[in-house]
Amino acid sequence: MASEKINALRIRNLVDEIPGISEKQMFGGIAYLLNGNMACGIHKDHLVVRVGKENYQESLNRKHVREFDITGRSMKGWIMILPKGYENDDELKFWVKKGIDFAKSLPKK
């Protein structure tokens, strides 16, 4: 739980100044939404990023990335990054930007 809160703070520091960002408890973790659309979040010690179906397979081919599956059914367009894949700030920024960019492509809710 401590690492979840620390990682949520790391994300919050990256997205705090972006207009339209909100933070919400979702899927047993903390999610960051842009204009009501989820962009990224933390589930236990995994970074969850919504990359969209077009970027899904390419993202899965990267190190430390797996399908977003917390219920037994994977969600296409969503990925989970193991802690090794976002432990430094540049890696975290890379993935958070992917999620924000995808959320920007969606209509506001």
> Dihedral of CA 59/62/65/69: which sign?
positive
Is 11 among the domain residues?
yes
pLDDT tens-digit series, residues 68-86: 998 888 889 999 999 999 9
For residue 78, tell me if it sits in a domain: yes
By three-state DSSP, how is residue 81 classified? strand
pLDDT at 59 over 90: yes
pLDDT in tens, 7-42: 999 999 999 999 999 999 998 899 999 999 999 999
Residue 1 — very low, low, confident or very high, per pLDDT cuts 50/70/90? low
CATH number (domain holding residue 18): 3.90.1150.30
pTM of structure: 0.93
58 is a domain residue: yes
pLDDT of residue 17: 94
Residue 25 belongs to some domain of the structure = yes
CA distances (Å), origin 23, targets 29, 61, 65, 66? 11, 28, 23, 23
**Which range marks the domain in which residue 40 is found?**
2-104
